[in-house]
A and B are shown apart, each in its own frame.
Chain A
Amino acid sequence: DAKTTQPTSMDCAEGRAANLPCNHSTISGNEYVYWYRQIHSQGPQYIIHGLKNNETNEMASLIITEDRKSSTLILPHATLRDTAVYYCIVRATDSWGKLQFGAGTQVVVTP
């Protein structure tokens, strides 16, 4: 699976949009980009995933560059409950559950 690179941490003001970048320059054509988040002492929670088109759901938006070498997760209106570690993962389609979690980005939303 392709490796991903994320910033170690970032802060965001409550009510503002949070833009979380992820680089995956070695991504293959059949690999999806997934985002999960983990609130302290809880299991990770699925946020969103995409292959090449931009995606949006009730939690976030995913913007994937045309060359697919990077992506951005957008939390449109961050709340204090969005404070968590956010993981960007790329994964092929042969086994959805065998994910390689890196260190992720620690996002702290401040009042």
Chain B
Amino acid sequence: SQTIHQWPATLVQPVGSPLSLECTVEGTSNPNLYWYRQAAGRGLQLLFYSVGIGQISSEVPQNLSASRPQDRQFILSSKKLLLSDSGFYLCALDFDEKLFFGSGTQLSVL
């Protein structure tokens, strides 16, 4: 079965600092991968998705970027974090008509 690894579980970063969140998956090849964000008290919002290595689509304009250097690796980055980047970040993959989520990273920008 497919497994999604996300780390760290929690992260506290100052405004203006860089960010790199990594997601790796196991148990499937050439998956479609997604980054979602959930701001406090809000619903989940799709940020990026990728259908293959080097292929990234952005759903909303923002201070973040994504990359997919390997088939099973999806990275979310920022050069300078803003207060509004705080939230719960989730990596996901779709398989067999379903979306599977990782355990998420709770990011607090102070």
Chain A residues numbered 85-110 whose CB sits less than 8 Å from any CB in chain B: 87, 95-104
Residue of B nearest to A99 (CB): B99
Q: Which residues of A contact B92 (CB under 8 A)?
A: 43, 97
Residue of B nearest to A102 (CB): B43
Within 8 Å of chain B (Cβ to Cβ): is A44? yes
Given A102-B43, A104-B43: A97 touches B102 (CB 8 Å cut-off): no
Chain A interface main SS type: loop
Q: Which residues of A contact B103 (CB under 8 A)?
A: 42-43
Inter-chain contact B97/A99, CB cutoff 8 Å: no
CB-defined interface of B43-66 with A at 8 Å, one 1/0 digit per residue? 111100100000000010000000
Inter-chain contact B100/A46, CB cutoff 8 Å: yes
Given A42-B103, A43-B92, A103-B43: A98 touches B49 (CB 8 Å cut-off): yes
Q: Which residues of A contact B101 (CB under 8 A)?
A: 43-45
A101-B44, A104-B43 given; 11 more Cβ-contact pairs under 8 Å = A42-B103, A43-B90, A43-B101, A44-B44, A95-B94, A97-B34, A97-B93, A98-B49, A99-B46, A102-B43, A103-B43
Q: 16 A-B pairs, CB-CB below 8 angstroms?
A: A41-B88, A41-B106, A43-B92, A43-B103, A43-B104, A45-B101, A87-B43, A96-B94, A97-B49, A97-B93, A97-B94, A98-B46, A98-B49, A99-B99, A101-B44, A102-B43
Sort A-B residue pairs by CB-CB distance and give the 5 closest, nearest first. A43-B101, A97-B94, A101-B44, A96-B94, A101-B43
